[in-house]
Structure 1
Amino acid sequence: MKFSICLSTILVTLGISVNAQLTVTEPRTDHWWVAQSLNTLAWDGSTPDQFSVFLSNSDTNVLTSLLALTSVTYAYDRSKTINPGGITPSGGYTILLTNPLNSSDVYAKSETFEIKAVGSNYPAQVSAPASAASGSASASGSATSTSSSSGSASPSEKSSGSSKLNVSAGLVGMLAALGGFSALL
């Protein structure tokens, strides 16, 4: 019992959210997708740790039912490149992050957004606000990946990923050290 309280205290002290609920950050109203193209799905949060991704539209003349885009996606990925295929260009689309075993159990829902016709331009890139530069996900990092179909990550995405790895590796080492101390408690 003492060990779990100490571990939670350490994680909170390090600024790591223990119960970060999922929120969809892209697409959104001002960041649309393009049909038959590579688009970015991005999210924040880590709870639950895995989910399925569905595309929805309230207009059944546009999309008659939910369209599965991924069966299992891991929250630690933070973004995924998605090609929605030959979807009808229209507004009113939303992304649903759901329980992989029960798609009616919705963990998070995106803002309503538009899917534009093949060949349309992506939205202009926006600079990250000064407050977002402190380590949280920003629109500029993921917008960079949507503007290129090469699939390679931008330098900021690469450094962001490696710093997450360094933090994770440090946590694993710290937890291993604390595990040795748990016998003393």
Structure 2
Amino acid sequence: MFSRALALTALALARVSSAATSTGGLTILAPGGDSLWWLFQQPNNIVWTCGESTFPQFTIWINNSDVTLLTAITAIISVEQNFNCNQGIDPNLLNVPLGTGYTIVMTNINNSSDVYAVSDPFEIKPLAIGYPPVSATPVDQGSATVSKGASSTGSSTGSSTGTAGGAAPTKSGAASRVLAASSGVLAAGALVGLLAVV
């Protein structure tokens, strides 16, 4: 019974529109759109409007409607604190292929069908392309958060925090193992649900 409920939740999340959405002041600033991509098997980051958000915490997922790239929506971070404003993603935490149409989804930690925000679709590109320039990421006016990305050829104007290479400090270690396990359960649950529907 639990796996069926999990599968139905995964299916509901998988149908989230690919157009950017936000509620409660939470908007995903990066990645998203043509100028804010991720690099394949490299540290990447997620930046959001923590200053305007009314949500103290949320779950972060990655999604793609192209099942040849991602078979099911996958949890990246089970509980992320809003006040962090950005989160680096360790390349060992998430193994997804090169491609277009990816979105980041933020949901209620207790009810994953309660979607808070969805990013614009973005691409995962090869390392040779390099990180997007810092100036490509919008600024969170409510908290004066500046992009945590970096460019190998560009430079930042104004204050910027985070590490070079386009990523803020990452979640790894035990947390990544827990998330990897939950992602596998979610993907398996989605498959069970799909088979039950057919």
What's the TM-score, normalizing by structure 2? 0.57
User: Is 1:43–2:53 an aligned residue pair?
Assistant: no
Which sections of structure 1, spanning at least 5 residues, go unmatched?
1-18, 153-185
Query: What corresponds to 1:55 in structure 2?
Result: 62
Aligned twin of 2:32: 28
Amino acid in the other structure paired with 1:35: F
Letter in 1 for 2:149: A
Whichever residue aligns with residue 92 of structure 1, its letter is: G
1:148 to 161, 165, 176: 165
Match of 2:77 in 1: 70
Contact conserved, 1:39 with 1:82, CA < 8 A, in 2? yes
Q: Which has the larger radius of gyration?
A: 1
- Taking only aligned residues, the RMSD between alpha carbons, in angstroms, comes to 2.9
- Does the CA contact (< 8 Å) of 1:93 and 1:112 recur in 2? yes
After superposition, the C-alpha distances for 1:52-95 in whole angstroms (9 at most, x for unaligned) are 00000011111110111000001111000013533110010000
Deviation at 1:124, TM superposition (A): 2.2
> 1:79 — aligned with what?
86
Please name the residue that 1:100 is paired with. 109
Alignment CA distance shift 1:100-1:124 (3 Å): same
Larger helix share, 1 or 2: 1
Aligned to 1:15: none
Distance 2:136 2:82 in 1: 25
Name 1:156's counterpart in structure 2.
Answer: none
Looking at both structures, which has the greater relative contact order when contacts are Cα pairs under 8 Å and sequence separation is at least 6?
Answer: 2
| TM-score, normalisation: structure 1 | 0.61
Q: CA deviation at 1:27?
A: 0.5
Residue deviations 1:148-183 (CA, integer Å, cap 9, x gap): 37857xxxxxxxxxxxxxxxxxxxxxxxxxxxxxxx
8 Å CA contact 2:58–2:82 kept in 1: the answer is: yes
**Identical-pair percentage:** 34
Which aligned segments of 4 or more residues in structure 1 are displaced greater than 4 angstroms?
Answer: 131-135, 149-152
Are the counterparts in 2 of residues 54 and 66 from structure 1 also a CA contact under 8 Å? yes
Structure 2 residue runs of 5 or longer lacking an equivalent are: 1-22, 151-161, 170-198
Conserved? CA contact 1:39–1:146, under 8 Å: no
Deviation at residue 136 of structure 1 after TM alignment: 2.8
Identify if the C-alpha distance between structure 1 residues 137 and 150 changes in structure 2 by more than 3 Å, giving closer, same or farther.
Answer: closer
Q: Name the CA shift for 1:69/1:127 in 2 (closer, same or farther; >3 Å).
A: closer
- Going from structure 1 to structure 2, the CA distance change for 1:43 and 1:86 (only over 3 Å counts) comes to same
Q: Which amino acid aligns with 1:122?
A: Y
